[in-house]
Amino acid sequence: MPWDRNWWSGVFASLLLLTSVEAFAQQPGAQPEIVRLPEVLVTAPARLPEIPLSPAEVPANVQVITGEEIRRSGALTLQDFMQQLPGVHLNDEQGNSYQPDISFRGFSATSVTGVPQGISVFVDGVRVNEPAVEEINFDLLPLDDVERVELIRGPIAVFGRNTLAGSLNIITRRGGAEREIVPEVSGGSFGRQKYRVHLSGTEGPIDYYFAGSQFMEDGFRNETDSRLSHVFGKLGYREGGTDITLSYQYRNNNIRQAGSLPLSILQVDREQNFTAGDFFKPNLHQATLNAHQALGSGVSLALNGFVRSLDAEQFNVSLIGQNSRLFNDTLSGGGTLQLTHEGRFLGRKNLLTMGAEYARHEVDIRVFEEQNERSLRACIEEAIARGEDPAEECSRLSELESVLSDTQDTVGFFIQNTAELGRGLLLSGDSLTLTGALRYDYVRHDITDRSPEEPGKATGRATFDRFTPRAGFNYNLSDNYGIYLSYSEGFRAPAFLELTCADPAAPCVGIQAGVAPDTSFFNLRPVNATNYELGFRARPAPWLEGSLAIYRTDVRDDIFSVSPAGTITIFFQNIGDTRREGIELALRGVYERLEGYVNYAYTRATFESDIELASPRTPGVTEQVRKGDEIPLTPNHRLNAGLRYRLHEWVTLSLNLTYVGDQFFRGDDANTQPKLDDYIVVNAGIDVRWQRFAGFMKINNLLNNDYETFGTFAPNAKVPGNPIEPFLTPAPPINLIVGVSYRY
């Protein structure tokens, strides 16, 4: 296998560190008896949250974040907090604090059209990847109302399509035993203001939780003010073996996007907005029903149903051609039925889960091209050159370019069994568990083209289906030490806008908002991934735990977006084989009043086929990508560490550091250009909890470092000749957030 020397060095160093930690933990006097880390349980190995399992019974690398941890951290977004997890890093292409991409294991979850998606996100059992391009609108996630977040890495069969790197399972809050009303207010740098209130409690078998919030900011760059409004409510009923919840979420946001800057401008003014006027306005309604019924004899039935409506407007300013405006109206609905049996088989523990799910998405997209000063001037000059009347040829300020709709039907069937194979096999306290799963996915696109110039050109049907298996062993030497080994496969069907933009001769107009009908629906093949993983877990003392995962994911027929030089257009194509491999190391411990963590990840994402791609740097020239070239925007090294110190019973100080290694710019697939620089970010905070009062203060980028998290190549239309330049997105300078709340 082509593991390189750096990869093996990382594995060796990680194993050495784990064994060193164990030796230290066994030293006399090193273990404080009264301090211990909390036990963690995972509900997400099943498609719908069911019977909690210990990570020792799950053949995957799993991290669990509680909503309380997020709230106490003062994190503005979920992506912001997730940077503390092994290998998770951000790329901010849009230039707005609510829209960074997250990436791990060389795959992304992003709101940006054109970036291949490989992570599935679920909220209370509902898959929220948008059906247009499988993107994730992180600004629509109910962060303030989160009870827990579970990150399960690797292709997980029961979660279905698009789970190439893993899945993010979000479970929202419900009313607690005590009735409470909690108003909150926070604010800080860049004009940030946030107002929120929630009401929750229980009356007999009924529990309730209602919340509303308003967030506003000016942004640290020019013309990037944003507003986000949110309402969330959940009613629950618990009686005997019956558990039912019904939730509703409303979002209305207006997010202005600064995007990236040419290097020549970035070096002079990091606050500039190169294409001032870009914005994203989503309006979301979502209702979700979850029901669980115990049927007796260890059998239970779970049901999930949802209706989701998203109307979004995206506007992009162009300095090369016309501006583009996209309207995306999506109506989705569906449900999942899951049957679970927890019992014994041949005298040993056994957990069987099976189910089916169906969803329909009706997507309507309209794209308008709108004149701007530059495009109008060019139109007039061309009309005069042709001897035509400019007043007639250039009078239309807005023109309907594309009208496309897609009715997507998705069906899935899954079965998973976790069986204890034996105890005391080699050691007196050991155990061996086998997990096996199989899923079938079917995806059908019925696309209708009503574009004014050539209606019907892209009308047609495309279908994709696949079985994806998963198998894994957990061998636990004791309650404190364990090993797992797993094999799994993943599947991603081409998305709606990928199918309609797969022709190099008709690329999409606009990075974020382009649709160009394509007649060949079968130009794109589905993406298939195979994952091999080996992991170790250790809790050598009640106050110390660690984990190590070693993985390799081989991808066949990966889909990439390609941007020809001198344009802001893209098209999608299969590029052959790619590979992601690496290690993930996590250590966490507490000592009296001090709590700390250290996480390290080595990731190597490579092309495994020799291919030619259109170069974004040289018009009309293709670029030869060789096997072994690294996939852009995937840093090899990522390290984060943090400390929390309980200064007083009600005051806690925190300090965390993140290091992200250098990475190739997007568009430099042949690895011929200088890399995006590595960077270090240090954040500090204070958390106060006194009686019914709570408060926090967080300082981001404490050292006030200048750094960039995203880089690409594009034409600089503000310079004569539109030369191709590196474009980078600057990160915010040092900034402060302060918040207070009171529980009535």
Q: 171 versus 57: which is more confidently predicted? A: 171
CA dihedral 706, 712, 718, 724 (to 10 degrees): 130
Residue range 333-346: mean pLDDT, rounded: 93
List 358's β-bridge partners, or say none. Answer: 335, 411
Q: 649 versus 457: which is more confidently predicted? A: 649
Task: Share the mean pLDDT of the chain.
Answer: 87
Residue range 20-32: mean pLDDT, rounded: 44
**pLDDT, tens digit, for every residue of 640-673?**
999 999 998 899 999 999 999 999 999 899 999 9
Q: Report the distance separating Cα 90 and Cα 83, nearest Å.
A: 7
Q: Report the distance separating Cα 343 and Cα 352, nearest Å.
A: 9
Is the predicted pLDDT of residue 28 greater than 50, yes or no? Answer: no
**pLDDT, tens digit, for every residue of 533-545?**
999 999 999 899 9
pLDDT attached to residue 573: 87
Residue range 697-708: mean pLDDT, rounded: 96
Q: Are 370 and 323 in contact (CB under 8 A)?
A: yes
Q: Report the distance separating Cα 280 and Cα 272, nearest Å.
A: 19
How many other CB atoms sit within 10 Å of the CB of residue 134?
A: 26
User: 472, 385, 370: which is closest to 152 by C-alpha?
Assistant: 472
Residue range 199-214: mean pLDDT, rounded: 96
How many other CB atoms sit within 10 Å of the CB of residue 382?
A: 13
Confidence of residue 497 (pLDDT cuts 50, 70, 90): confident
Q: Are 660 and 676 in contact (CB under 8 A)?
A: no
Antiparallel, parallel or unpaired: β 527-541 and 693-700: unpaired
pTM over 0.85: yes
- Tokens matching residue 577: 């084989």
pLDDT attached to residue 594: 94
Instruction: Find all residues with CB under 8 Å of 702, minimum gap 6, and list them.
Output: 682, 683, 684, 734
pLDDT attached to residue 112: 81
**pLDDT, tens digit, for every residue of 65-117?**
899 888 888 888 888 889 889 989 889 988 888 888 999 999 998 888 767 78
Q: What are the DSSP E strand ranges found in 661-723?
A: 679-690, 693-700, 708-715
Q: Are 564 and 537 in contact (CB under 8 A)?
A: no
Could you tell me the sign of the dihedral formed by the alpha carbons of 398, 399, 401, 404, in that order?
A: positive
CATH T-level fold of 5-742? Maltoporin; Chain A (2.40.170)
Burial 205-218 (b: 16+ CB within 10 A, else e): eebbbbbbbebbbb
Q: 50 versus 228: which is more confidently predicted? A: 228
Is the predicted pLDDT of residue 23 greater than 70, yes or no? Answer: no
Q: What percent of the chain has pLDDT over 70?
A: 89
Confidence of residue 136 (pLDDT cuts 50, 70, 90): very high
Half-sphere exposure of 8 (CA within 13 A, CB side): 5
Q: Are 675 and 664 in contact (CB under 8 A)?
A: yes
pLDDT attached to residue 145: 94
pLDDT attached to residue 388: 77
Q: Which helix (H) or strand (E) holds 232?
A: strand 226-239
pLDDT attached to residue 36: 64
Q: What is the DSSP letter of 610?
A: -
CA 602 to chain CA centroid, nearest Å: 19
Q: Report the distance separating Cα 106 and Cα 277, nearest Å.
A: 32
Q: What is the DSSP letter of 140?
A: G
Q: Report the distance separating Cα 451 and Cα 462, nearest Å.
A: 19
pLDDT attached to residue 438: 96
Confidence of residue 513 (pLDDT cuts 50, 70, 90): very low
List 304's β-bridge partners, or say none. Answer: 290, 336
> CA-based angle 379:384:390, to the nearest 5?
55
Confidence of residue 26 (pLDDT cuts 50, 70, 90): very low
Q: Are 123 and 170 in contact (CB under 8 A)?
A: yes
Residue range 557-570: mean pLDDT, rounded: 74
Q: 619 versus 318: which is more confidently predicted? A: 318
**pLDDT, tens digit, for every residue of 283-314?**
999 999 999 999 999 999 999 999 999 999 99
Q: Report the distance separating Cα 326 and Cα 110, nearest Å.
A: 18
